Chains A and B, each alone.
Chain A
Amino acid sequence: MSWLSENGLLVGLALLDGLSYAAAVFMVAVGLNLVFGVLRVLNVAHGSLYAIGGYAAASLGLFVASLGAPPWAGLPVLLAAAVLVGAILGPLIERLLLRRMQDREPVLQLLVTFALFMILEDLQKLVWGVQPVVFDAPLKWLGTVDVPFGTDVIPFTAYQLYVLPGVALATLAGLAYVLRFTLVGRMVVAVTVDREAARALGIDAAKVTLLTFTAGAALAALGGALAAPTVSLVPGVGASTIVLSFAVVATAGLGQVEGAAVAALLIGLGRSFAVYVAPEFEVVVPYAIMVAVLLFRPQGLFGVAETRRI
């Protein structure tokens, strides 16, 4: 216990950092998971939507600020940017591309999203350049909070302490409610479980798919928009985000919403502890957790094993 008392501050900081990091990762991973459920395609371009959401939020935020808007306006701007990105790019990608590929081989569908990823990566470089983009007005406006931790006090930004985990929790609760208790949500679940049977019951699977993909895209963009004030945006952020979300989704099990939250928390905390204790292993930890989980539960922590078909 002497190590803990000596490094109490470190542990506290790692906990707080991990929590806010997990919140952003959860937003992206849960969207990826939802989309996988109805489309049965792991959308590689999902990370690009995260990056574009972040860039769009930063641009919009800087633009609104240049008009002389009060600092609190930064927060609704983040949300607006995410909704905008999701509502424009989501239907565009699903309608023009993924829908046409529905009946093709899974490998080809996966490759289509990989091609999309390559296109969006360069598009984003063309629009926003390769210089880091920084928009931290909401972070500065909310200031810092002194978090009591044992005998110590840790100053931490209120944005990362309240806004990030708050939005993530609201998303989790909202999704859980919609999927369980509303007609639209039940339709999404039905299409996820068995597309054919759902259609036989009169559910418009194409519409549900479009809706889910748009929602998933907006969630990824929201994750990016929320993370934007806490990081500087550089090219390549989409690529690293997507592999991390893959790890979260595989750890949680496919099609799991609450599971994605647990896995994001596990991986977020694991990563932030690594940052403070053994920085060399920062990138390795998420995968180590995933491999360890899959070793004992091949279908993920909360996944359901598929029945064998003959």
Chain B
Amino acid sequence: MTRLGETLLALAGAAAVLALAYAVPWLRFVLTIALAKGLAVLGILLLLRAGQVSFGHALYLALAAYGIAFGTMAVPEALVLIPGAALLSGLVGLVIGLFVVRYREIFFGMLNLALSMVFYSVLEKFYAVTHGADGIRLGPVTYLGRPLAGEAAEWAVLAVALGLALAFGALVRVALASPLGEALAGIKTRETRLDFMGVSPRRVLLAAYVASAVMAGCGGAIIALTTRHVTPAIAYWTTSGELVFIAILGGAGSVLGPFLGAAAYELTRVYAAALVANAWQMVLGLVLLAVIVFAPGGLWGMIARRRPA
């Protein structure tokens, strides 16, 4: 699909989100969460391009979400909190990244998993600071200095999420077409050849890793501002698995895939939970299986195939 086609589709998608959120008020919450997860999955997409799967990116979601929760106690301004939370995730991502980019495949995935589980248990066990499994309620938040609540706050978060999604989507689109993106794909095919060309695979992967941490941080920040309550569950490894799930569901072929996948995932989850309360996870599992077996390109692959560029 051409760049123009993708841009138009992205704008049409954004308009559809706004229209849906206006027409069906309860969807506003679902769509904001979907955009937030889509942002995090955008980072997963970068790593997938290099053939690496992280089973631990819930760590960066949780870092930012808790960062926001603690941050509201000091600075209640959302437009300061969100960049701050993303920066926190990025910095931790840089430190951890320096360590994990030395590993590939299973070891890369497992080390990420391990570190996120360590953070999960810290959140759960240090009750005095984090209130354990009860989690923390967010304090009041202002948007551009205006204290918003209720519906107005929901619209504000949705607008921020949409803006971030469009901005990061465009950025990742550019990055994937740049030499950096080509080098990432090179890590997947044959890393040693990158070495021979004088490109450091580790540095390339580190750049992608930090970027993915920042995007997951943005996602986590928006989740915290939407749910207004953060619990350790956001750091659990199944959350990380969910992100990889969405990446495959949406399709790794385009930056629109993650958002498409996240919307489909959240909607499936809402309806499955309403229809079969005890088996929503099973429904999601069956959907994932069906996608992998019948539509390996994900939802995006199905759209792109029908409308060849």
B190/A119 in contact, CB under 8 A? no
Interface size on A, residues (CB 8 A): 47
Contact A114 B288 (CB under 8 A): yes
Cβ contact within 8 Å between B118 and A107:
no
State whether A254 and B241 are in contact (beta carbons under 8 Å apart), knowing that A118-B282, A118-B285 are contacts in the complex.
no
Q: Which of B121-167 contact A (CB under 8 A)?
A: 121-122, 124-126
Question: Roughly how many angstroms separate A308 CA and B114 CA in the complex, as a whole number?
Answer: 26
Chain B nearest CB: distance from A288 CB in Å?
7
Known contacts A110-B53, A254-B106, A294-B107: A116-B285 contact under CB 8 Å: yes
B292 lies within 8 A of A108 (CB): yes
- Does A107 lie within 8 Å of B288, measured CB to CB? no
Partner of A246, one of B110, B124, B244: B110
A174 at the interface (CB under 8 A from B): no
Q: How distant is the Cα of A76 from the Cα of B113 in the complex, in angstroms?
A: 37
Encoded as 1 (CB less than 8 Å from any A CB) or 0, chain B from 99 to 113 comes to 100110111011101
What's the Cα separation between A298 and B280 when bound, in Å?
38
A282–B288 CA distance with the chains assembled, in angstroms: 33
Shortest beta-carbon distance from B92 to chain A in Å: 15
B102 near A243 (CB under 8 angstroms)?
Answer: no
Contacts of B192 in A (CB 8 A): 308-310
Contact in complex: A298, B107 (CB < 8 Å): yes
Q: Which residues of A contact B109 (CB under 8 A)?
A: 42, 110
Q: Is B284 an interface residue (CB 8 A)?
A: yes
Q: Tell me which residues from 229 to 265 in chain A have a Cβ below 8 Å from any Cβ of chain B.
A: 239, 243, 246-247, 250, 254
Contacts of A6 in B (CB 8 A): none
Q: Which residues of B contact A279 (CB under 8 A)?
A: 125
Roughly how many angstroms separate A44 CA and B242 CA in the complex, as a whole number?
A: 13
Residues 117-132 of A contacting B (Cβ, < 8 Å):
117-119, 121-123, 125-126
What residues on B are CB-neighbors of A42 within 8 Å? Answer: 106, 109
A290: chain B residues within 8 A (beta carbon): 110-111, 114
> B296: CB under 8 A from chain A?
yes
Residue contact A291 to B238, C-beta cutoff 8 Å: no
Contact of A298 among B102, B115, B293 (CB under 8 A): B102
Query: Which of B106, B285, B296 is A115 in contact with, Cβ under 8 Å?
Result: B285
Q: Are B103 and A118 in contact (CB under 8 A)?
A: no
* A239 and B238 in contact, given A111-B244, A114-B244, A121-B281 (Cβ under 8 angstroms): yes
Instruction: Identify which of residues 60-108 in chain A touch chain B, using a CB-to-CB cut-off of 8 Å.
Output: 97, 100-101, 104, 106-108
Identify A288's interface contact among B118, B125, B280, B296, CB under 8 A.
B118
Contact B278 A280 (CB under 8 A): no
Q: Is A141 an interface residue (CB 8 A)?
A: no
Does A169 lie at the interface of the complex (its beta carbon under 8 Å from any beta carbon of B)? no
A282 to B284, CA, bound (A): 31
Q: Which residue in chain A gives the minimum CB-CB distance to B289? A: A115
- Is A112's CB within 8 Å of the partner chain B? yes
Residues of A within 8 A of B296 (CB): 104, 108
When C-beta atoms are compared, the residue in chain A nearest to B238 turns out to be: A239
B286 interfacial contact with A, CB 8 Å: yes
Task: Tell yes or no: B193 within 8 A of A by CB.
Answer: yes
Instruction: Say if the beta carbon of A283 comes within 8 Å of chain B.
Output: yes
* B window 257-309: CB within 8 A of A: 278-282, 284-286, 288-289, 292-293, 296
B244-A118 in contact (CB<8A) = no
Contacts of A193 in B (CB 8 A): none
- Asked whether A294 lies within 8 Å of B103 as measured between CB atoms, the reply is yes
Task: Say whether, besides A119-B285, A294-B111, A287 and B118 are in contact (CB < 8 Å).
Answer: yes
> Given A107-B248, A115-B288, A309-B190, do A280 and B126 touch, yes or no (CB 8 Å)?
yes
Q: Tell whether A291 pairs with B115 under 8 Å between CB atoms, given A111-B245, A254-B106.
A: yes
Known A280-B126, A310-B192: A122·B282 in contact at CB below 8 Å: yes
Q: Which of A115, A282, A283 contacts B292 (CB 8 A)?
A: A115
**B237 adjacent to A119 (CB under 8 Å):** no
**B51 is an interface residue with CB less than 8 A from chain A:** yes
Asked if A112 meets B289 with Cβ closer than 8 Å, knowing A118-B281, A122-B282, A125-B278, the reply is: yes
Query: Distance (Å) between the CB of A198 and the closest chain B CB?
Result: 21
Residues of A within 8 A of B278 (CB): 122, 125-126
Which residues of B are found within 8 Å of A44, using beta-carbon distances?
241
Identify which of B103, B117, B124, B244 contacts A243 (C-beta below 8 A).
B117
Contact (Cβ within 8 A) B279 A126: yes
Residues from chain B with Cβ under 8 Å of A310 in the complex: 190, 192-193, 196
Residues in A with CB closer than 8 Å to B184 are: none
CB distance from A125 to the nearest CB of B (A): 6
Q: Which residue, of A239, A246, A290, has the highest number of chain B Cβ atoms within 10 A?
A: A246
Residue interface bits B219-261, CB-to-A below 8 A is 1, else 0: 0000000000000000001100100110010000000000000
A-B pairs with the 9 shortest C-beta distances? A118-B285, A283-B121, A122-B282, A287-B114, A119-B285, A115-B288, A280-B125, A115-B285, A115-B289
A-contacting residues of B (Cβ < 8 Å)? 48, 51, 53, 99, 102-103, 105-107, 109-111, 113-115, 117-118, 120-122, 124-126, 190, 192-193, 196, 237-238, 241, 244-245, 248, 278-282, 284-286, 288-289, 292-293, 296
Provide 24 A-B residue pairs closer than 8 Å at the C-beta atoms, listed in order of the A residue.
A36-B106, A101-B292, A106-B51, A107-B48, A111-B292, A114-B241, A114-B244, A114-B245, A114-B288, A115-B285, A116-B285, A122-B278, A122-B279, A122-B281, A243-B237, A250-B114, A280-B125, A287-B118, A290-B110, A291-B114, A294-B107, A298-B103, A309-B190, A310-B193
